[in-house]
Amino acid sequence: MIGVRASLMEAVRLATQYGFEAVELGLGEVAALSDSAMSQLRDELKAKGLELGAGGISVPVGRAQEQFTAWISDLSKLAAAFQRAGGKRVVTWIACAHDKLTYLQNFRLHVTRIGQVAAVLGDHGISFGLEYVGPKTAWSRQRYPFIHTMQETKELIAETGKRNLGFLLDSWHWYTAGETPADILSLRNEEIVGVHLNDAPAGIPVDQQVDNRRAMPAATGVIDVGGFLGALQQVGYDGPVAAEPFDAELRKLPPDQALQRTMDAMRKAFALTKSSVS
């Protein structure tokens, strides 16, 4: 998410070198490993004191039934491999608008298909997190706005009835949805599968913020990163927190500089947490 490309083992080495505590690996990458390579990965993670972060997937909610069924079948194999590697968390995002489906039609479709995905992942001991997309510039782009707040996501999760289904919380979407630390305090640790951290450009009204133009964590102070992290601390969140700045300048840097700058930003953000929790 910061523009650095690396193999699985290189990612482990870089994470250790720059002080990260987890690595995020794609389910497809892990599933492609031989038995010996899988064993080596597990051994390296243990030796370095690293954990697997939340693996990301793109769920084809809107595809034809036969295509979705085939995708679900493949997902089961990917999830089994991810579980063998020690993975316990998988996340995705929810498209926040649709040109043809009304809110209710889209909601019913998501209840069915997100529920199916959660069931498959649950069979492999994996929690499944949903990320709502908050910016008005995103959910107003198509004819029918869809889920774009924490409360709406709660309703979707409740309707599926799946106990392993929860949230991928992103400080950007939390901010653009007009939410506060109190909203996070309404959640339990078990309901939070993953966290993304970033800041927003200064001088832009919240309803005019554009999703792929963000800033490094704690860079501008537009987003209350301290309050966000402080609330997560209060609910006892014990999972991964990943930087997702969508920073064009960061992506131009050599890998070593990009990694160091990201770690510096994360440490700055976490330092703010201490002053935001009573």
DSSP state of 97: E
Q: Give the residue among 171, 174, 221 at the shortest CA–CA distance from 197.
A: 171
Question: Six-digit token pair at 249?
Answer: 């300048």
Q: How confident is the model at residue 25, as a pLDDT?
A: 87
Q: How far apart are CA 8 and CA 25, in angstroms?
A: 7
234 close to 180: Cβ distance less than 8 angstroms: no
Question: What amino acid occupies position 134?
Answer: G
Q: How confident is the model at residue 1, as a pLDDT?
A: 86
Place of tokens 């579980």: 83
- φ, ψ of residue 6 to 5 degrees: the values are -155, 150
Go through the domains of the chain in sequence order and give each one's CATH number.
Answer: 8-276 (3.20.20.150)
101 close to 144: Cβ distance less than 8 angstroms: yes
160 close to 186: Cβ distance less than 8 angstroms: no
Q: How many helices (H) and strands (E) does the chain have?
A: 12, 10
Q: How confident is the model at residue 140, as a pLDDT?
A: 97
Q: How far apart are CA 158 and CA 201, in angstroms?
A: 34
129 close to 89: Cβ distance less than 8 angstroms: yes
Q: How confident is the model at residue 218, as a pLDDT?
A: 97
Torsion of CA 5, 8, 12, 13, to 10 degrees: -70
Q: How confident is the model at residue 277, as a pLDDT?
A: 52
Q: How far apart are CA 245 and CA 248, in angstroms?
A: 9
Q: How confident is the model at residue 276, as a pLDDT?
A: 53
Question: What amino acid occupies position 164?
Answer: N
pLDDT < 70 stretches in the chain = 274-278
Radius of gyration from C-alpha coordinates of the chain: 19
Q: How confident is the model at residue 238, as a pLDDT?
A: 96
199 close to 220: Cβ distance less than 8 angstroms: yes
